[in-house]
Structure 1
Amino acid sequence: MRIAVVNNFYPPRVGGSAHLSESLARGYAARGHEVLVITAEHADAPVDEVAGGVRVVRLPAVKLPETRLAVNFDIAFCARPSLPRRIRELLDRFRPDVIHQHGQFFDLTWATGLWARRNGVPVLLSVHTRLESPSKLYQVVFSLLDRWVVAPFMRRYVPTFVVMDEQMRDYIHTKYRGGISGTVHTPIGVDPDAVRGGDRAVMRQRHGIGDAPVILSTGHVIPLRDRMTLIEAMPAVLARLPETRLVVVGGVYYDAFLRRARELDVEHALIVTGAVPRSDIPHYLAAADIECHDLHGYGFGTASLECMAAGLPVVSAVREDNFGDIKLIDRVNVHLVPPQDPEALAERLVEALNDPVQARSIARAGADLVDANFTMDAVIDKHVDALRRLIPGR
């Protein structure tokens, strides 16, 4: 197959969507398929290169200004008068059998979707982020964008959607009805080997943590993962385990949790690293006793699965059936808590930190769950099968 992979986010940009689209693109190439990646330019990355058996073309882009609406995130758009022509040149020359898009609200998605409609090429679309916010004002804005901008594009070229979990399925069918040609159930994929084998001492020495209990919180800080519940749980945790340290690893694009930490006088227990090299992640995972960041009830993302894969117990506010038949079971392979409930979270964190036997049991079960269901090889195979099924005559 000739597969065009489209995502405004692609390494060296960081983030779950970027890393997943790269892993899939390279996985397609490793299985003998010809792959073209179309993405947005980034810093000093080459505008046209071959990496990992994949041709990557980065188109001129404008980075959105840092605003609270864009959660100060590194978002780039390629919209300019020349974009349709550039997309046409690339895809006419490449002649893809199928297009795999990532992200429903990007201009590259819309431009390649319209090209696909004109040329009769099927499209698979992975939705990584729901346009949702805990802020009522921003939720109104996001709902309007979904209804009047994103959904009309979906109805124009009608892609097949990748459903990664039950909440994403509900979101897609609610927001984009009339623009769905079908759905494919494929969970998130992670590479367990990439997060295992860290040295517990490395980050503890770097940050002067010593033997203190460590709560790790991974991933970018954005409104949907704002760490506010976690900070508000910390006074009760510190009252019983005063040496505990909370280590937040990831870019800070929404800093309300820092102000709240000062208000609650728990700032001394907080270590905020910002974004770190990918190679450091296994050491942070090995240094921690427990991980916690998905607390709004919006799902269970790549970072949480990577923590489980590394053998780290995870606390999350997520549905047991988040992945359908693949069950997340409280106190068996994960710790489940109510959304945005600091008291319940504090109790569970203290319980987990005080019971190393239970922690080891949950860690083993979590790693086994990932190995059985979420490895990147298995997910790539499912995507390849889905792409093949979309092509007429296959």
Structure 2
Amino acid sequence: MRIIMLSWEYPPKIVGGIARHVYELGHALAEEDIEVHVITAEFPGAPAYERQHDLLHVHRVAVTEHANDFVHWVQLLNRSMQAKAEELLNGWQQEGKPFKSRAFADGVLLHAHDWLAHYSGAYLKHTYRLPLIATIHATEYGRNNGLHNDLQRYIASVEWQLSYEAWRVICCSWYMKGEVEFALQTPSDKIVVIPNGVDTTKFEFKFDEAERQAFRSNYAAPDEKILFFVGRMVREKGAHVLLEALPKVRVVYPKVKLLIVGGGYRDHLVQLANWLGVAPHVYFTGFVPDDVLLRIYRIADVAVFPSLYEPFGIVALEAMAARIPVVVSDAGGLKEVVEHNVTGIVTWLNNSDSLAWGILEVLQNPERAQEMVKEAYRRVKTLYNWKRIARQTIEQYRQVWSEYRKSNW
């Protein structure tokens, strides 16, 4: 089976969670003998073609025309992605039988990730009469708690078209399944839930105590506990709620330092920290490369993710894999990933009092926190490993291919 996987981002181009999801899924599928061709946007310094595994091929394409705005750029990118996919498909067509008459092992499927890959996915579906599978990672309605302007309404309309054109829609959580049913009116029986995953081995590098302490000293004093947040500096990720909770935590537990990791515009958060009087106790790292981020996971005492909107919560899963106690809001898929008082602490959404309470629960009860860490790590290893997720995805590929071959289309 060959998969053409369409995604606007792929490492080293990382904007949100899609890049890492497609990277990990692509590698896991290749390990299960699925040939994957990722078609994505170019990135400075990254090769136009890269073979990352015997069965994983990455094709990076350029946008050669001037774009008037972001949506226009996405459309131009899709045209380039479409051209690369056509080049592959035309070659595969010459290999023998028509696609539809081929067995699963020799078949070809299209897999698009989010609305940013809809245009090329829908075009290729109809041109080559191949099934399209869509993974919808988030919706415009959910991100903005409604649709408030023409751009948001347009993006939502493209999301609707993608879910309409798809033979199967994959969502990462039951919360997202409900959102896609409501916001995009997608039939329930068309949607399957396959969670995100995490590779626990990436946190298991050599990091002796002397090196750890030296690295830690870059961010906090030896007697300070490190609270850790990683994410985009946008309202939906809730960093402002964490800043509002920090003074309340420090009243009870003054020796804490908050690390806020992530790139993007953050002046509003810096101003809030100053206004709250906690600026000396907050370290904005900006964007950090993966090797630094992994080390930050290893020095943190509590990972805090107070999202206002979260389809799944991959960062919480990564913290669990790194064996850090987690405190999260009850937004979206987070409460599916983290079970309250079992694998972490779940607090009320957009409530700094509740968040401060959750952080103090961990700081003041270290033995109980470590019990939760152990159970969280066990669940990550058994439920959220990429081999399991790849096999669940392949089962959907098999079902779709079987339905396609029996259909009149």
Give the TM-score of the pair, scaled to structure 2. Answer: 0.84
Give the TM-score of the pair, scaled to structure 1. Answer: 0.87
Quick one: distance in 1 between partners of 2:398 and 2:7?
20
1:341 aligns with 2:351: yes
> Which residue does the alignment assign to 2:377?
367
Quick one: distance in 1 between partners of 2:10 and 2:266?
22
Contact 2:180–2:186 at 8 Å: present in 1 too? no
> Which residue does the alignment assign to 2:60?
58
Paired positions, count: 383
1:4 aligns with 2:4: yes
> Which residue does the alignment assign to 1:250?
262
Per-residue CA deviation, residues 67-120 of structure 1 (Å, 9 max, x unaligned), is 9x99xxxx96351695454443333334561112212x21x3321222113322
Q: What SS does structure 2 have at the residue aligned with 1:172?
A: helix
- Measured after TM superposition, the shift of residue 328 of structure 1 is 3.6
Measured at CA, do residues 327 and 190 of structure 1 come closer, stay the same or move farther in structure 2, by a change above 3 Å? closer
Quick one: distance in 2 between partners of 1:361 and 1:63?
55
Q: What SS does structure 1 have at the residue aligned with 2:233?
A: coil
> Which residue does the alignment assign to 2:100?
none
Give the aligned residue type for 1:102.
H
Alignment of 1:292-307 (within 5 A): 292-307=304-319
Contact 1:249–1:275 at 8 Å: present in 2 too? yes
> Which residue does the alignment assign to 2:367?
357
1:194 aligns with 2:202: yes
Quick one: distance in 2 between partners of 1:143 and 1:17?
19
Quick one: distance in 2 between partners of 1:89 and 1:129?
30
1:163 aligns with 2:171: yes
Measured at CA, do residues 130 and 288 of structure 1 come closer, stay the same or move farther in structure 2, by a change above 3 Å? same
Per-residue CA deviation, residues 199-251 of structure 1 (Å, 9 max, x unaligned), is 44243122243231111112232231140100001111122222210011222
Q: What SS does structure 1 have at the residue aligned with 2:393?
A: helix
Q: What SS does structure 2 have at the residue aligned with 1:236?
A: helix
Q: What SS does structure 2 have at the residue aligned with 1:206?
A: coil
Larger Rg: 2
1:77 aligns with 2:74: yes
Quick one: distance in 2 between partners of 1:381 and 1:331?
30
Measured at CA, do residues 141 and 232 of structure 1 come closer, stay the same or move farther in structure 2, by a change above 3 Å? farther
Unmatched segments (≥5 aa) in structure 2:
94-106
Per-residue CA deviation, residues 41-61 of structure 1 (Å, 9 max, x unaligned), is 111211122222322111113
Alignment of 1:1-394 (within 5 A): 1-14=1-14, 15-53=16-54, 54-61=56-63, 77=74, 79=76, 83=80, 84-94=82-92, 97-103=108-114, 105-106=115-116, 108-132=117-141, 139-141=148-150, 143-155=152-164, 157-177=165-185, 182-197=190-205, 199=207, 200-318=212-330, 322=333, 328-392=338-402, 393=405
Give the aligned residue type for 1:378.
R
What do you get for the CA RMSD once the two structures are aligned?
A: 3.0
Q: Relative to structure 2, which stretch is displaced further, 214-223 or 373-382? A: 214-223
Contact 2:142–2:179 at 8 Å: present in 1 too? no
Per-residue CA deviation, residues 145-167 of structure 1 (Å, 9 max, x unaligned), is 24433323543x23411121122
Give the aligned residue type for 1:338.
W
Q: What SS does structure 2 have at the residue aligned with 1:98?
A: strand
Quick one: distance in 2 between partners of 1:347 and 1:198?
34
Q: What SS does structure 2 have at the residue aligned with 1:101?
A: strand
Identity %: 21
Give the aligned residue type for 1:60.
A
Contact 2:306–2:350 at 8 Å: present in 1 too? no
Measured at CA, do residues 307 and 139 of structure 1 come closer, stay the same or move farther in structure 2, by a change above 3 Å? farther
Quick one: distance in 2 between partners of 1:309 and 1:284?
13
Contact 2:241–2:306 at 8 Å: present in 1 too? no
Quick one: distance in 2 between partners of 1:182 and 1:289?
41
Quick one: distance in 2 between partners of 1:63 and 1:252?
26
Measured at CA, do residues 63 and 13 of structure 1 come closer, stay the same or move farther in structure 2, by a change above 3 Å? farther
Contact 1:195–1:281 at 8 Å: present in 2 too? no
Unmatched segments (≥5 aa) in structure 1:
none
